[in-house]
Structure 1
Amino acid sequence: MKYILLSIAYFLLIQNTFSSGIRGVVYDDEGQPLPYTTIYVEELGTGTSANQEAYYELNLPPGDYTFQYKFVGYETVIRKVTIGTTFLQLDIYMEKQTLLLDEVVTSAKSTDPANWMMRKAIAKSSYHRQLIDAYSGRVYVKGKGRVNSVPFYLRSMLKKEGIDTSTLIITESVSEISYKRPNQFSEKVISVYASKKNDFNASPMRFISGSFYQDEIASSISPLSSKAFQYYTFKHLGAFVDGDHLINKIKVTPKVKAPNVFEGVIQLVEDDWALYNVDVKTQIDMGIEVRIRQVYQNVNQKAWMPISYQFDVDGKIMGVGFEFKYLASVADYEITLNPALPHKIKLIDKDDPVTTKPEKEVAQSVKQLQKTKSTSEPAIVKAADLRDLMKDYQKTQADSLSKLDIVGVYNYKIDSSAYSQDSMFWHHVRPIPLSDNEIRGYAKIDSLNIVNEEKNQKDSLKNANQFSFQPLDIISGGRYTFGKEKDWKFIIYNAFFSTQYNTVEGLNVDYSIGLRKNFEMKLDSAQKIDYDYQLIKKPFILLKPTFRYAVARNNVIGKVLGKYQFQKGSVSLAGGRYVSQFNDMPAITPLINTSFTLMWEQNFMKLYEKDFVQFRFENNFSHKWRISGNVEYEERHRLFNNTEFTFIDWERGLTPNLPINADPIKEFDGQEAFTADFKVTYKPHIKFVINNGRRIAITDESPVFSLAYFKGFKGLAGSDVDFDRLEFEFRDSYEIGAKGTTYFSARTGAFLNNKSLGFMDFAHFPGNRAFITQIDPVQSYRLLDYYLYSTDSYYVQTFLYHQFRKFLITQIPATRFMGLKESFFTNYLLTSQSKNYVELGYSLDGILRFFRIEVVTNYENFRYQSTGFRVGISTTLGGNVSVEINNEE
């Protein structure tokens, strides 16, 4: 009885606190509910939506208001009402739109009118972006979803996290957003409700902060992109009248149905050529499908802005299927227009059936365009010219951001009290009412969260006094912080993953421990925007001894690394007795070699032992310039096979521990070598985005140039080697519209002096013999022996890799939406012995989203040699650039 009385008292309190506004249900002309109808309040610049039961409710102070009710396919309903001191009940009935067809918009020419309409809209997209100088508003986002399928091998693990197919995930948030031209977006989250605190990470704000007037939105090509006609065909479906505006419906169809392109319908406002409505779908990363619906409104007669959104998201990752639905509405718009541009522009097009003014009255320059800003008459511009005029205008508007090559600024903050707002707050700010099943779902989730929170508190108290070290950490590894400032760390590295097998050492294991001291960052104002991203790193010192035990040799060797990481680079000193591959890039990873030696009787790895001292350094002067270098003294010793153990005897025989080369390898046992190398890398076209004050470089849009010099010092510290080598490298990628993306890499070099050197000093190439690989798909050979054409003379290597949007198998749309991608590649090597070595290959990528299968043929002097098959990691996971493996930290 007590709980019933409290509930009644709470309900009465809410009713008395928020006692005026409007509520009702939206129906079609047959009396059926129209869920998610958009409702716009003209006087407030506020948009909202009805819920899934078509019920809406707005808390409003007394006054006169104009409401617009919008639903795709139905006539807009406008109601002028007076709100008193109580709630006004207003149910709305909407009638279906009547489309006007060819008699209104038919072109005098045979082309579909959608083509000239889209040319105008695309030409004006940059203008629409530049017209808004700034805006602010408040965004409400409500999301709910669930995991709808879980593979058996993940069920127990996910259940421990409280996730199964019966779990309803709910999020609500209210954010204050602001935008400033050219591309500065800020979001402050003032309130969050989430069934799990990290569920809020699934917010669709990257779509809300983006714009269909940009070339891309969330990595998908916009129908209003400057290159839209390369990706889409357009069809005019008709038009309808909404108030004083004629609205054109245009169907958007991708030329190649594939991920990262849109399909659906957009609606354009005639003359303004602004978006009125968007209803499209696309597939983004990892096969996630997204349907986006936006409703636009001419806010305060200034500009057409989105006022409501719907997002339907579903997909499957690693067998876990999920579905989410988000609703979002924007309220309290405040818009400032760009005073430098005319607020009205009339476009003319070569296929436009409408009679236009004489050519002499058409704006021909930026200056003439700017002169019209103070007149009431619209500027008249050719659609073909407006894009160029806007490019010129943007060049004249160079600001502090563009001078720093910054393409966007994004600030995101969650208020400290965001998770602690009570039910009264949510009742007041929630513009989209909860449906009955959402109310029941919230009650269930809140009760479960209370139980889980109590359990977590008990667990934390139980474990508060337990020491974190466990005996298993000796093998599995662990990190232990200590010191007054908690700035010291003792590290035990995982020994299990460092256990390998080869024919020289047999079973071997690296056991490493480390002692690390972190230092405070001391950044000036210019450095702060780079902190923690690619360039500026947190300083530390590290001491790391490593011991290596080889069973077949029954010996222990080791090395010690000392490293100092400063803000823009590092220096390190290492020394000891250790084993190394002749090509320590490495030629083959230990894991792949272990598998092929034990399972297929193929011992690809070739090792030598060295007593060494090595000094390394690198310095990132900027994101564009980087230098690195290495100075090393080695005493080199030859090693031999000590075991022939394999799981399966294929009767092919294991090979000696010496690389195979076109020329005989000279004896090097006991050779002393003092060597050095120095490399300069330059990326000329780096752009940046700033996220919460931190600068992130967009590195994949710039070509890469590097110049390296390698030197062997004869006689220095008893060194036996004497050589000089110079090497130049170039890498870049090119997007060829709807045809796909081409990646190109070239490396060329020569020995200026090769009087004396060991085989490990030769120029080596990224070969491969294993049919299961971890190689970089863009910069590696598939069938080339690891050392066959290693050279002490000149060399040229090139790689060309083109990934198609549609080729053979991917002609079938279903295969593209499965994530499959096809590629063709050709690799070339020229040395004094290679005889114009060429590889031609075909790759099917994204199999099960994780794997890549390739078929390759190789040729010498244009004569066929062999064919091979390779299985690797999908480029969507492994990327198209080399990954440097660094386990020093």
Structure 2
Amino acid sequence: MIKKTFLPCLLSLIVIVSICTDAEAAIVSGKISNEEGEPLPYATLYIEGSTLGTTTNIEGKYAINIEPGDYYMVFQYVGYHKERIKISIKNTNLKLDVVLKAEALTLREVVVNATDEDPAYDIIRETIKRKKRFSEEINAYQCQVYMKGLQRLDERPAQILGVQIPIDTGIVYLSESVSELTFQRPDKVSERMISSKVSGSQSSFSFNQASQTLFSVYDNILTVDGLTERGFVSPLAKNAFFFYDYKLEGVISEGDHLINKIRVYPKRKADPTFEGYLYIIEDLWRVSSLELTLTKEHQMEFLDVLTVKQVHAPVADSTWVMFSQNFEFYLNTFGFKGSGYFSAIYSDYRVELNPTYYQKRENPSIQIDSTARPKKLKSFNKNDVKNEILKIEKGSNERNDEYWDKVRPIPLTAIEKKDYQIKGQFEQFKKTSVYKDSTDKIHNRITLGKLAYSGYRYHNSVKQYSLSTPALYQFIQYNTVEGILFNLRVKYSQQNNGNTIRDITPELRYGLASDHLYGQLKYKQYLNRSKFEELSIHGGHFVRQFNGDNPITPLINSISTMVFRNNYIKLYESTFMDLGYQQELLNGFFIKPRLLYAQRNELTNNTDYSWFFREKKDFTPNTPEKYLGTGLPI
């Protein structure tokens, strides 16, 4: 089953690519096109017998680092005949343009009567019969991951419901990342993000997450979060024949294999199903590649069209792994029109085969080496599968352009280069005091709306601190214990490169009816954000609600008390000192020691005033019924 993560307005679909290089490697580059000279975007190429490879960019261009030696390089694209070319790599770069021919389909020599079903059904049955093995033949694997995603907005409305839309058209998201992905059957996944790059935001981390792109056509239901809660039926599901029709388009000859091109399409348009093509290897009955499409007719909620392309490559013992994956999508909703893609290649596989399907040997763990030169095989370490789904390495978003030029297997297009350049220059400008002072001057303006509804915040970007106060309706309150009260709270925050490092919050409270002044001070220090490590000190002499875990909003209580004569809030007085600490030891496992001293005193109503119902109902006592005669809460 698969899960996806999406951006707020656009689908965030992830694609994976990886590469290993060294100082001796040469660059093989070129362009892949068809016989008409049209570029083939996201075409796949790799060194035969390894998972060293890449995909072309949207312009059909590619570049890959390969160590010196003699190899066969495989070029393929869904719908085109695969090319196998011998290359000899020296210490100089090689330019290699490739033209792929359209599929040369041949029909099987079968006698088909009017009542007979299409031969595709038998091929699908054979594949479904073996899909359990295909899903379980690898106990665990580890691979390196390069991810690249682009989303662009082509049209947008000027406003929605009277609210101006601040987003400009053009590229709204461009990101790359390199990760190490580890999987252990049946569904244990962990990921270590090694590097991350987001156009226009050097301090941000990529939304790309390899651990959420495990899209397997052999699953029965393919769940895509954000598209639909129901999930989509796979064309190879156990009950697929209730949802799909199949047609054998023809057979392609590729080396020693015959590839069946099978068209899959829904029986009913409204079903949560795909349409497109599966390429299944004769006799092996494995999917070598696929191209499947979803539309709004198939119950997608945010996108108009989503197309998934996958290419699988053979490794040891006739085991196949997914080598490349590509998602293309189009959006047209609420006046927004856009498109995007996430391209993918998995590499540097290290696998542990399932002994149920493969005989044990001296070393049952096989490392699939992504480089041309063989290395000593290493055992798969199950300890690499951590409980944490995603761990971001320190400094992963601090890689320079030289690093990305070396590890980037998919060449940037002209528009991507321009986006990085322009947004990078603008990001540098945003760090200048001129820009910071000008934006602070705008944001720090005092308006009636801020004072009355949202509260006021003063920010100094150069010195990296801010002061904030609550809205007017939070400053002036009313309850039966204190009467009209003034609650002044000021929060001071110190930042460092956009991250808050400490908060200091003094608070004073005075009630006219109780004629009592209260005060408290909160201090919080953020020690290590990667481990959620925090230290807090909180002390003073203040009032508290009895139901502190689920407090009543002071504004609601003020209106209810003055208008309806219902005093819901129940208060007590506390003189206290509270020390707290927290840290994440393991993924999702926190320690939160706390030391609290408190002296609590009972409070009573000091006013009987309300606007209405004064002759018809009385206020209830300040102490809740369940606490009467039992003392205050601990």
Normalised TM-score (structure 2):
0.63
Whether the 8 Å contact between 2:280 and 2:287 is mirrored in structure 1 is: yes
Whether the 8 Å contact between 1:519 and 1:540 is mirrored in structure 2 is: no
Q: For 1:463-482, what aligned pairs fall within 5 Å after superposition? A: 464=464, 466-469=466-469, 472=472, 474=474
Structure with higher Rg: it is 1
Find the partner of 1:73 among 79, 99, 104.
79
Q: How many equivalent residue pairs?
A: 476
Q: 1:434 corresponds to which letter in structure 2?
A: L
1:182 equivalenced with 2:186 (yes/no): yes
Whether the 8 Å contact between 1:47 and 1:308 is mirrored in structure 2 is: no
Q: For 1:109-188, what aligned pairs fall within 5 Å after superposition? A: 110-153=116-159, 163-188=167-192
**RMSD (Å) for aligned C-alpha atoms:** 4.8
Find the partner of 2:254 among 227, 237, 242.
242
CA shift for structure 1 position 187: 1.9
Find the partner of 1:55 among 48, 61, 82.
61
CA shift for structure 1 position 269: 1.7
CA shift for structure 1 position 54: 2.0
Q: Distance in 1 between matches of 2:519 and 2:131?
A: 56
Quickly say closer, same or farther: Cα 1:542–1:437, change in 2 above 3 A. Answer: closer
Give the corresponding residue for 1:208: 213
Q: Distance in 1 between matches of 2:308 and 2:85?
A: 27
Q: What are the superposed Cα offsets for residues 335-367 of structure 1, whole Å, 9 maximum, x if unpaired?
A: 22111x224xxxxxxxxxxxxxxxxxxxxxxxx
Identity %: 27
Provide the secondary structure at the position in 1 that maps to 2:558: strand
Q: For 1:450-489, what aligned pairs fall within 5 Å after superposition? A: 450-454=428-432, 458=437, 459=440, 460-461=460-461, 464=464, 466-469=466-469, 472=472, 474=474
Provide the secondary structure at the position in 1 that maps to 2:402: helix
Q: 2:108 corresponds to which letter in structure 1?
A: D
Gaps of 5+ in 1: 1-15, 344-372, 376-399, 401-407, 493-512, 521-538, 568-573, 578-606, 616-630, 635-715, 718-889
Provide the secondary structure at the position in 2 that maps to 1:328: strand
Q: Distance in 1 between matches of 2:193 and 2:248?
A: 40
1:446 equivalenced with 2:424 (yes/no): yes
Quickly say closer, same or farther: Cα 1:474–1:303, change in 2 above 3 A. Answer: same
Q: What are the superposed Cα offsets for residues 738-773 of structure 1, whole Å, 9 maximum, x if unpaired?
A: xxxxxxxxxxxxxxxxxxxxxxxxxxxxxxxxxxxx
Find the partner of 1:336 among 313, 329, 352.
352
| Structure with more helix by fraction | 1
CA shift for structure 1 position 106: 6.9
Find the partner of 1:327 among 343, 347, 350.
343
Find the partner of 1:89 among 91, 95, 100.
95
Whether the 8 Å contact between 2:171 and 2:419 is mirrored in structure 1 is: no
Provide the secondary structure at the position in 2 that maps to 1:101: coil
Give the corresponding residue for 1:286: 301
Whether the 8 Å contact between 2:199 and 2:419 is mirrored in structure 1 is: no
CA shift for structure 1 position 576: 9.4
Whether the 8 Å contact between 1:174 and 1:190 is mirrored in structure 2 is: yes
CA shift for structure 1 position 417: 1.8
Find the partner of 1:34 among 36, 40, 47.
40
CA shift for structure 1 position 47: 2.8
Quickly say closer, same or farther: Cα 1:39–1:157, change in 2 above 3 A. Answer: farther
Q: What are the superposed Cα offsets for residues 780-835 of structure 1, whole Å, 9 maximum, x if unpaired?
A: xxxxxxxxxxxxxxxxxxxxxxxxxxxxxxxxxxxxxxxxxxxxxxxxxxxxxxxx
Q: What are the superposed Cα offsets for residues 833-876 of structure 1, whole Å, 9 maximum, x if unpaired?
A: xxxxxxxxxxxxxxxxxxxxxxxxxxxxxxxxxxxxxxxxxxxx
Quickly say closer, same or farther: Cα 1:489–1:134, change in 2 above 3 A. Answer: farther
Provide the secondary structure at the position in 2 that maps to 1:21: strand
Give the corresponding residue for 1:788: none
Q: 1:97 corresponds to which letter in structure 2?
A: E
Q: 1:342 corresponds to which letter in structure 2?
A: Y
1:423 equivalenced with 2:435 (yes/no): no
Give the corresponding residue for 1:828: none
- Flag the structure with more relative contact order, 1 or 2, with Cα contacts below 8 A and sequence separation at least 6: 2
Q: Distance in 1 between matches of 2:176 and 2:134?
A: 30
Give the corresponding residue for 1:193: 197
CA shift for structure 1 position 67: 0.7
Quickly say closer, same or farther: Cα 1:468–1:316, change in 2 above 3 A. Answer: farther
Moved more, 420-429 or 115-124: 115-124
Q: What are the superposed Cα offsets for residues 243-285 of structure 1, whole Å, 9 maximum, x if unpaired?
A: 2222112222123334743221111122222211111122576
Whether the 8 Å contact between 2:292 and 2:309 is mirrored in structure 1 is: yes
1:25 equivalenced with 2:40 (yes/no): no
Q: Distance in 1 between matches of 2:103 and 2:327?
A: 24
Provide the secondary structure at the position in 1 that maps to 2:397: helix
Provide the secondary structure at the position in 2 that maps to 1:297: strand
Whether the 8 Å contact between 1:168 and 1:441 is mirrored in structure 2 is: no
Whether the 8 Å contact between 1:107 and 1:113 is mirrored in structure 2 is: no
Q: Distance in 1 between matches of 2:521 and 2:221?
A: 43
Find the partner of 1:611 among 617, 620, 627.
620
Whether the 8 Å contact between 1:134 and 1:179 is mirrored in structure 2 is: yes
Q: What are the superposed Cα offsets for residues 604-658 of structure 1, whole Å, 9 maximum, x if unpaired?
A: xxx998837898xxxxxxxxxxxxxxx9599xxxxxxxxxxxxxxxxxxxxxxxx
Normalised TM-score (structure 1):
0.46
Provide the secondary structure at the position in 1 that maps to 2:236: coil
Give the corresponding residue for 1:523: none
CA shift for structure 1 position 294: 0.8
Find the partner of 1:264 among 249, 267, 276.
276
Provide the secondary structure at the position in 1 that maps to 2:67: coil
Q: 1:469 corresponds to which letter in structure 2?
A: T
Give the corresponding residue for 1:228: 240
Provide the secondary structure at the position in 2 that maps to 1:214: coil
Q: Distance in 1 between matches of 2:489 and 2:308?
A: 45
Q: 1:435 corresponds to which letter in structure 2?
A: T
Q: For 1:309-708, what aligned pairs fall within 5 Å after superposition? A: 309-316=325-332, 319-339=335-355, 341-343=356-358, 373=359, 411-454=389-432, 458=437, 459=440, 460-461=460-461, 464=464, 466-469=466-469, 472=472, 474=474, 546=554, 547-549=557-559, 555=565, 557-560=567-570, 611=620
Q: What are the superposed Cα offsets for residues 299-332 of structure 1, whole Å, 9 maximum, x if unpaired?
A: 2454222211221123256554432112122222
CA shift for structure 1 position 465: 5.4
Gaps of 5+ in 2: 1-21, 225-230, 362-381, 441-459, 477-486, 494-500, 510-517, 526-546, 579-590, 593-601, 606-615
Q: 2:243 corresponds to which letter in structure 1?
A: Y
Provide the secondary structure at the position in 1 that maps to 2:273: coil
Provide the secondary structure at the position in 1 that maps to 2:84: strand
Provide the secondary structure at the position in 2 that maps to 1:145: strand
CA shift for structure 1 position 541: 6.2
Quickly say closer, same or farther: Cα 1:519–1:419, change in 2 above 3 A. Answer: closer
Quickly say closer, same or farther: Cα 1:159–1:552, change in 2 above 3 A. Answer: closer
Quickly say closer, same or farther: Cα 1:437–1:558, change in 2 above 3 A. Answer: closer
Q: 1:452 corresponds to which letter in structure 2?
A: K
